[in-house]
Amino acid sequence: MFVTQLKSFFAVARLGSVTLAAKQLGLSQPTVTSQIRHLEDHYGVELFLRQGGRLVLSDEGVRLLPQVDLLLQQEINLEFALRHSGELHRGHLRLGATAPYYVLDIVQRYRERYPLVDISLAAGNSRQMVDALLGYQVDLATSSHLESDARLHRLTLGTDPLALMVHRLHPLAGCRAIRLSDLGRCVLILRERGSTTRQLTEAALAEAGVSPKGQMEIASREAIREAVLRQMGVSVFARHEATAHPDLVVLPFSDPVPSLVEYLYCLGERRQSRLIGAFLALCEAAG
């Protein structure tokens, strides 16, 4: 219970929000608030100052934060060592992916070779996945963002050009290829901010001087695909992410457009651990 309370304190202190801390920890907001209250009441300290609904670290909280950080990091390292100790055919590997299309083939081969290793796969955009990796929430993460952080080891999984997904009844569906200027007549459905696909799409449109007729923001590829199926608009995907469906048409651009590069990252200090090293070896063999 003590370590759990410290995790709640640390998450709120780092993120500056009970709501964000609860989401990261997988807890309810009242639970996070209660754990911090119990910690303060039990030891007679005030870790946060409550100012108009905002939580601000107190002087005592500021002094304790580095020690709590060290303690929680030691717990993470111990848990990691236990999961990756012993023989390779057992353990638990945690993956984070912006899109499953590249990594699932490797996961399948990994499972065939090491069937007793448990694998979990979390999803999010490029920024979220790299943050999860740096926060020791996943062991490996895919991202379409080129990271320069020296702590990270990187492999390239693949490269795909941007393409447009439309409904088969859309006026553009009969084209063999389209121009960026064609999007000026369309409602464009975009991912949330932080998505590399969105950043590349907006940069290409800006360079071409094109403004879509309208825009929508939807936070997942699956939901965007469903919106296109309902003829709510069109969307730009990396070619490999545009899954087949009889009512969907994927159109290449005739204009020069950026390509999306998918990378696989792990922490450099952990690349030699057995489970991670075996996964990297399969990626390198596939490349």
The least confident of 71-80, 109-118, 153-162, 267-276 is: 71-80
Sign of CA dihedral 145, 150, 153, 155: positive
Is residue 196 a part of any domain in this protein? yes
The total of structural domains in the chain comes to 3
Question: At 171, which CATH number?
Answer: 3.40.190.10
Q: Are residues 17 and 43 in the same domain?
A: yes
What pLDDT is attached to residue 88? 56
Average pLDDT of the segment spanning 156-180: 93
In the predicted structure, residue 189 carries a pLDDT above the cut 70: yes
Domain coverage including residue 97? 91-157+262-286
- Residue 80 inside a domain? The answer is no
Q: CA 68, 77, 123: angle at the middle one, nearest 5?
A: 95
Banded model confidence at residue 236, pLDDT cuts 50, 70, 90: very high
More confident: 32 or 73: 32
pLDDT at 243 over 80: no
**Residue range 58-105, pLDDT digits in tens:** 888 888 888 888 887 777 777 766 666 655 566 789 999 987 777 888
Percent of the chain at pLDDT > 70 equals 94
CA distance 242 to 259: 14
Is the pTM higher than 0.75?
A: no
Assess whether 6 and 146 both reside in one domain: no
Does some domain include residue 73? no
The verdict on residue 81 lying in a domain is no
C-beta separation of 141 from 129 below 8 A:
yes
Claim to verify: residue 131 and residue 213 sit in the same structural domain: no
Is residue 82 in a domain? no
**DSSP category for residue 253:** B
Query: Does any domain span residue 83?
Result: no
* One domain for residues 248 and 271: no
Whole-angstrom CA distances from 74 to 10, 68, 71, 79, 137 are: 14, 10, 5, 9, 14
pLDDT at 75: 77
pLDDT score, position 100: 74
Average pLDDT over residues 113-121: 89
What is the pLDDT confidence band of residue 144, given thresholds at 50, 70 and 90?
A: confident
Q: Do 113 and 226 fall within a single domain? A: no
Q: Does residue 20 sit in the same domain as residue 46?
A: yes
Q: For tokens 């020791």, what's the residue?
A: 136
Helix (H, G, I), strand (E, B) or coil at 149: coil
Stretch 118-141: mean pLDDT, rounded?
87
Please state which of the ranges 7-16, 102-111, 250-259 shows the lowest mean pLDDT.
Answer: 7-16
Output the pLDDT for position 101: 75
Residue 217 pLDDT class (50, 70, 90 cuts):
very high
For residues 287 and 178, which has the higher predicted lDDT (pLDDT)?
178
Q: Are residues 182 and 252 in the same domain?
A: yes
Domain assignment present for residue 70? The answer is no
Residues 240 and 271 in one domain: no
| pLDDT of amino acid 272 | 84
Question: Is 71 inside a domain boundary?
Answer: no
User: What mean pLDDT is reported for the chain?
Assistant: 87
User: What is the structure's pLDDT at 165?
Assistant: 95
User: Looking at residue 83, what is its pLDDT?
Assistant: 66
Whether 13 has a pLDDT exceeding 80, the answer reads yes
